[in-house]
Amino acid sequence: MAGSSTPAASAPPAALLRWAPLLVGAGYVAVVLLAADTAPADLARYAGYLLLALILPGTLVYRALRRRPHTLVEDVAMGAAVGLVLELPAWALYAWLGIAGWLWTWPAAIVGLFLAVPGLRRHWLVRGYRPAPVGWSWSVAGAVAFFTTYLSSTFLERNPILPTSERTRQYLDLAYQLSLAGEAKHQFPIHLPQVATERLDYHWFGYAHMAATSLIGGIELPVVALRLTIPALCAAAIVLTAVLGWRVSGRPWVGAIAAVLFFVIGETNFTDPVTMPFGTQASFVIWHGMSMIYSWVLLIALIAVLADVVDRRADRPVAPIGRGAFVLAPLLMFASSGAKASSLPVVGLALAFTAVALLIATRRIPWAVVAAGAATAAAQLFATAVLYRFKAYGVEVDPLASSLEPYWTPPPDGWPGPVVVLAVVAAFAVNMQLRVVGIGPLLWLRRGRLEPVQWFLLGGALAGPALYLLLRQSGGANQYFTRAGFTFAVVLSAWGYVLLAERARLGRRAVAVLGAFAFALAVALVAVQFRYAGPASGEIMFDWLRPLLWWSAGLAVLAVLAAGLWRPATTGIAALRGRGAIALLTAVLVVGAPGLVMDMRKSERTPNGGAYANIPLPKSRVDAARWARDHSDPGDVLATNVHCLAVVNGWCDARSFWLSAYAERRVLVEGWGFAPRVASSGSYTPFWDQDLLRRNDAAFTEPTGAGLRELRDRYDVRWLVVDRSVGEESPALGRLARLRFDNGRMAVYELP
C-alpha cells in the first residue's frame, strides 16, 4: 500500500530469489517424471544417488584440483562431470572383484577422505563465489524446462517403463541399450549380451553409468534407462554449456545463449513430418542412444578444462583452474574415449588447429597445447587398442560419399549438375549450421586476431563437420562428428552474438524489444510451419531438400527486404535505431526454433512407441524375461528360439534384444544385428557361427540329452526361453528339461 512503512523483511528473502530458478527447474523435471509414471520412491532414490554418490564426491575432488572458486554452479556442474569420471574406475574395480553390490562405498570413501584429511576439509565450505545473475539462472532453467518438455513428448510419454499389453510398441534401440546396462550391472569384462561368447568392442561407458545408478540407488534398470538417466544428463549438459560459455568468455550471457542454441533451437527444416536429411543434433539421437548425451557431458567439461590449458594468460576474466587442469584433462579424456568414439578425434583436431594458429601468431611452440594434444592421442590409442581392439566399424575415408553425394546422385531432371551440388551444400549449411552463424560476426569484430581459446573453439567447430564430410560409415555414424563439433560451435556463436550486442550498446529497453522480437519470430515461424509445411518425398533423395531450399530462399528475400526497410521502420523505435546487424543475427539464429517443436508434433501423432522405428514389445515376452531374471543367477546364460526382428525375403533382420534387455542375462544367441563385427555389413548379415546357431536352435526343435548337456557344460546355459509365436518347442523338451514358466505364448525351461 502506498505510503505504508512495511518493513523490508516482508520482501522475499534475497536467498530465495537466488535459488528460485534451481527450485523451479528441478521441480518441473520432477513433475514431468512423475507424470510419466515414475514412482515417487524411485525419484527420491535417484535424487539421493545424484546428490550423494555423484555430485558430492565429484565436487569435492574438483574443488581440490581447481585453484580459485568462480561460481557455485560451476563447482557443482563440473563436479557432476568429475563424478561420472570417478565412477568408471570404481565400477570396474568392484565388478572385477565381484563385489558390485558394494559399489555405494566408493563415494563414501571419497567423502570420508575429505572428512579425515585436515588439508582437504577446507573444500567442504568455500567462500568467495561470484553470484550468478538472476536472468542467467532463469534462462538456463528455462532451457532445462523446454528440453525436458521435448523429452516428455518424444520419449517419456511414448515408451512405458514396462509394456502394458500385447500391443505395446517401443523404439528399436531402447532394448539394446537396456541390455548393455544389464550386462554392465552383472558382468565384467563386458560381452555382447545377445551373443554370450562375443566380447563387446564398443563405447559402453555410458551403460556402466546406468548400471552404477541401479546398483547404488537400488533402482530397477528399466526405470533408470527409460525415465531417469537421460533427462538428468540433458539437464547437466545444459548447465555445463552455460558454465562453459561464461568461463571461457567472462560473459555470463555467452553461456546462457549457447545453452539455448544447443538445446532449444533445433535444426532448420521446413517439412511436416519433420525430416533429418543430414542427421540431427538434439532430436531423438539423445534418447535412442544415450551414449551421445553422456559423452556431451564429459566433452563439455573437457573443453572447459582444455580452455585453461590452451590459454595460460594471467589476465583472463575468469580465474583459471590452475595446475589441476593437467590432472582433470587426462581424466576427462579417458572417460570420453569410451563414452563416444566421435569425441576425441574432434578434440584432437581442435588442439592441432590451435597449435598451428598460435605458432603462426606468436612464432613460438605452444608446448601446453602440444602436451594436451599428446594426451588426447594417448587416450585415443587406449580406446582404439583396448576398447575397440582396432575395429573401424566400417568407417573409411570417402569424402562426401555418405553425407552430401547421395543428394545429387542422380541429379534431378532439369537441374545442371553444378547447380545441384551448390544447392545441396547450401541445404547442409542451412539445415545443420545456421545456429552457429554468430561465429561470423566474431571473426569480423576480432579482425582474425583471436584469443587462444577462440582458436580452440573454432578448431572444434570446423573439425566436427569436416570429419562428417570426409568419412563414411554404412550406418551413418559419421554424423556424430558433427554433433561433437556443436559443443564448440554454439559457444563461439553465442560469443559472437554477445560481442555484436555489446558493439550495438543495447540498453535495457533495446534488450527487451530484441527479446520480444526473437520470441515473436519463433512463435510466428512455428505457426507458419504448422500451417504450411508439407512432407518431403520423391523418387530421388534431392527431393528431401526441396522444401528446405525453397523456404530458405524465401526467407533470404524477406531478410533483404527487411534490411532495406530497417532504417525507416525504426525511426519510431529509438531503442533499436542503428541496431540492424544484431536484429538480423537474432532473426537468423531463431530460424531453427520450430525444429524441436515439429519433432514433438511428429511424435504426438504416434502415441504408442513414438515416431521413430518403433517395434512390437509384447507384455508376454517381457514377463517371461523378467521371470527368468528373478529366478536365475547373474552368471547363468539363456538360450532362445527368437533371433529375428523380421524375416524379409528369407533374410533375418537380427535386431532382437528384448530377452537380454529385460532378463539382464547373457543369451547364447539372440540377435546379432548390432554386433561390432557386422557393423559395416548390416543387420541382415548371417550369423558368423552357423554351427553354434544350429546347436542353439536344435535345443528347441530336436532336443537331445547330449545336446542340452553340451549347452549347459560348455556354454553355461541354464534356461531355455521359448516364444511359441516363432516356433513351438518339441514335446521332447518337456521330458529333458523342467518347465518353470508358461503364459501361453512364452515358456521358460530350466536345464537339469
pLDDT of residue 348: 97
d(C-alpha 372, C-alpha 377), whole Å: 9
Looking at per-residue pLDDT, the higher value among 10 and 511 belongs to 511
**Coil, strand or helix: which one is 554?**
helix
What is the mean pLDDT of the segment spanning 497-510? Answer: 90
Half-sphere exposure of 77 (CA within 13 A, CB side): 29
Q: Report the amino acid identity of residue 695.
A: R
Q: Is the separation of the CB atoms in 552 and 434 below 8 Å? A: no
Q: At 648, is the pLDDT very low, low, confident or very high (cuts 50, 70, 90)?
A: confident
Cα of 633 vs its chain's centroid, Å? 33
Residue 545 near residue 607 (C-beta atoms within 8 A) = no
pLDDT band for 571, please (50, 70, 90 cuts).
Answer: low
- φ, ψ at 448 (rounded to 5°): 80, -5
CB 176 within 8 A of CB 631: no
- In contact, 644 and 201? CB cutoff 8 Å: no
Q: Which residue has the cell 605452444?
A: 366
Burial category of 15 from C-beta neighbours within 10 Å (exposed 0-12, middle 13-18, buried 19 and up): exposed
Question: What is the arithmetic mean of pLDDT over 335-341?
Answer: 94
Alpha-carbon distance of 525 to 529, in angstroms, equals 6
**Residue closest to 547 by CA, chosen among 265, 311, 335, 270:** 270
- Name beta bridge partners: 396: 472
| CB-based contacts of 615, cutoff 8 Å, min separation 6 | 169, 170, 171, 172, 609, 645
Which of 584-598, 669-683, 702-716 has the lowest average pLDDT? 669-683
Helix (H, G, I), strand (E, B) or coil at 44: helix
Residue-wise DSSP of 482-501: HHHHHHHHHHHHHHHHHHHH
Q: Which three cell numbers stand for residue 244?
A: 562453459
User: Predicted confidence band at 309 (pLDDT cuts at 50, 70, 90)?
Assistant: very high
Cβ atoms within 10 Å of 534's Cβ, excluding its own: 12
Predicted confidence (pLDDT) at residue 281 exceeds the cutoff of 70: no
pLDDT tens sequence across 427-445: 999 999 999 999 999 999 9
Distances in whole angstroms, Cα of residue 178 to Cα of each of 268, 361, 452: 32, 49, 42
Strand partners, 717: 637
- Mapped onto helix, strand or coil, the DSSP state of residue 270 is coil
Burial string for 711-737 (b: 16+ CB within 10 Å, else e) reads bbeebebbbbbbbeeeeebbeebeebb
Strand partners, 534: 271
Beta-strand pair 666-667/637-640: parallel
pLDDT band at 7 (very low <50, low <70, confident <90, very high): very low
Cα–Cα nearest to 514, from 505, 526, 506: 506
And the C-alpha cell for 272? 511436416
Query: What is the rounded distance in angstroms from the CA atom of residue 221 to the CA atom of residue 162?
Result: 11
b/e 415-439 (16+ beta carbons within 10 angstroms → b)? eeeeebbebbeebbbbbbbbbbbbb
Residue 3 pLDDT greater than 50, yes or no? no
pLDDT at position 568: 62
The C-alpha atoms of residue 626 and residue 618 are separated, in whole angstroms, by 13
Within 8 A by CB and 6+ apart from 6, the residues are none
Average pLDDT, integer, range 21-25: 95
Q: What is the mean pLDDT of residues 240-246?
A: 98
pLDDT tens for 413-429 read 778 889 999 999 999 99
Backbone conformation region of residue 664, classed left if phi is above 0, alpha if psi is from -120 to 50, else beta: left
Which residues neighbour 732 within 8 Å (Cβ) at sequence distance 6 or greater? 702, 703
- Mean pLDDT, the chain, rounded, equals 91
Q: Is the pLDDT of residue 572 over 60?
A: no
* C-beta of residue 575 within 8 angstroms of C-beta of residue 509: yes
Chain centroid to Cα 402, Å, comes to: 22
More confident residue, 682 or 568: 682
In terms of DSSP H, where are the helices of 156-269? Answer: 172-186, 205-217, 221-223, 229-249, 252-263
Kindly give, in sequence order, each residue whose CB lies less than 8 Å from that of residue 104, ignoring residues fewer than 6 positions away.
53, 215, 216
Which one, of 430, 435, 432, lies nearest residue 548 by Cα? Answer: 430
Segment 669-683 mean pLDDT: 87
